[in-house]
Structure 1
Amino acid sequence: MGTDPQHDTEGLRLFDTGAHPCGYWPERTARDLVLDPRDPRLAQLYPLALSWGFRRSGDIVYRPHCGACHACVAVRVPVNDFAPNRSQRRCLRRNADVEMRVVATIRTDEQLALYQRYLAMRHPAGGMDGHGAAEYDQFLVGAWATGRFLEFRADGRLLAVAVTDRVENALSAVYTFYDPEETARSLGTLAVLQQIAWAKRERLRHLYLGYWIEGHRKMDYKRRFQPLEAFDGRQWRRMEPGEDA
């Protein structure tokens, strides 16, 4: 890696994880590029890494690097150009009773219980459904990230938590979990809409949404947030609208 006017990348090392089971397509194997997790500059390099199509999971900053498959596409919303579509406006109206609050990334028993219910329902036997407090802190909090928890409540009851990183000029949606019995509220969509609104209030440029995978039931929804930009490995380009746009 070379140098950048704002970020010193001199000597930055990348590691290839080697082949491992794909988390999105069970019949495939995957590989990742990982920034050196021992590099003391990770917090400073993280905003630049996001612009290169990387993502954070716990303290690991990674990007898919599969030889024959390029299904995972990093995407972000240019928040100043975003306007909710008809379906998203309905989602906002359905959740008019929901209150949002940004809090520090300090685990609470209430959050952990919601997280465990969400995993048990949404990812049964997927390797995460046994997560406890230690795994919660490792995966969602981390040691160096500048994250915040965006809590969603109705009548005081915790409905959802959107784990969000705040970096220069952007927010990054790390992970969202919610009450699995409140499907009618479309809390995942609500979380993205409120993260976009948060970024606008902070006068930030982008909300990073992680990876979009065309045709994947759990990932294709991201295309509905328009305009959407995709990273092609060299630069960010506008994508065409998807369903319901």
Structure 2
Amino acid sequence: MTDKQKPTQHIKLYAGPTHACGYLDDQSSVSVFADPSLDFDNLLYSELSRLGFRRSGNHVYRPQCASCSACWAYRVLVDKFQPSKSQKRILKANQELELYIVPAQALSKDYQLYEQYINHRHQDGDMYPPSFQQYEEFLFSDWCESLLVKALDGQGQCHAIMALDILDDGLSAVYSFFAPQSPYKSLGTYLILKTIEICAAQNLPYCYLGYYIKDCQKMNYKGQYLPAEVYRQNRWQSY
């Protein structure tokens, strides 16, 4: 721990309500939240990320279910990552897109893309139906320094967006969304691959991809980005 990093050993955790798991059938889910009264910043959040925590809006949380430990925080080892043949094809197929990295702001034009994505891809999820308030409270934070990576075509049309949090040892992918009818393919994969490239360009060792769940199709795709580590049994382990 450097002098700038804040100790986390005395942080109070509060358990949220038990609810049906959104990823595994017949499972209940509980998350613990870091004390919301803390003076959060990116350094403290970085420390908590190394303990398996994530951010949603202003809240920092980690799954802590009594009868299940299927959610593993997942981070790609940037300096060792080599895209697979299929990932190289995705990069090549989308090479006409231009990336723009901007400070995170909740803008109505970006929300329109988010709304299209949720309405088309996630009508069975917690984020449906979408609203601008829900979009703003989910992706953005009063205290966290974040970025938006936007993929635009030659006419300036935005096809995909990745929201990223800045950590002291990497970038954390908060969420990505894209135009459902875009002619460009595999945009979710494309955004992750470009995020790993951004980490490499900034000499950041890790790209955090949230929680990996082996038995959930919505969450096990992260295992395609290797080599990586998962946080389980209170330590980072090679995956």
Is TM (by shorter chain) over 0.5? yes
Aligned residue pairs total 237
8 Å contact 2:72–2:211 — kept in the other structure?
yes
Cα displacement (A) at 1:125: 4.5
Amino acid at match of 2:44: L
Percent sequence identity over aligned pairs: 33
In structure 2, the partner of 1:124 is: 123
1:233/1:183 CA distance change after superposition, 3 Å: farther
In structure 2, the partner of 1:98 is: 97
Distance 2:10 2:214 in 1: 35
Distance 1:221 1:11 in 2: 35
8 Å contact 2:212–2:219 — kept in the other structure?
yes
In structure 2, the partner of 1:7 is: 6
In structure 2, the partner of 1:181 is: 181
Matched, 1:197 2:197: yes
Give 5+ residue unaligned stretches, structure 1: 240-245
Distance 2:142 2:184 in 1: 35
Matched, 1:233 2:233: yes
Distance 1:36 1:21 in 2: 23
SS of equivalent residue, structure 2 residue 101: strand
- Mapping of 1:18-97 within 5 angstroms? 18-97=17-96
Please say which of residues 230-239 and 192-201 is displaced more in the overlay: 230-239
1:11/1:214 CA distance change after superposition, 3 Å: closer
Distance 1:199 1:95 in 2: 19
8 Å contact 1:92–1:190 — kept in the other structure?
yes
8 Å contact 1:150–1:161 — kept in the other structure?
yes
Please say which of residues 134-143 and 35-44 is displaced more in the overlay: 35-44
- The two structures, once aligned, show a CA RMSD in angstroms of 1.7
In structure 1, the partner of 2:135 is: 136
Amino acid at match of 1:8: P
Cα displacement (A) at 1:106: 1.3
Give 5+ residue unaligned stretches, structure 2: none
SS of equivalent residue, structure 1 residue 185: coil
8 Å contact 2:42–2:166 — kept in the other structure?
no
Distance 2:199 2:122 in 1: 29
Cα displacement (A) at 1:9: 2.9
In structure 1, the partner of 2:114 is: 115
1:172/1:183 CA distance change after superposition, 3 Å: farther
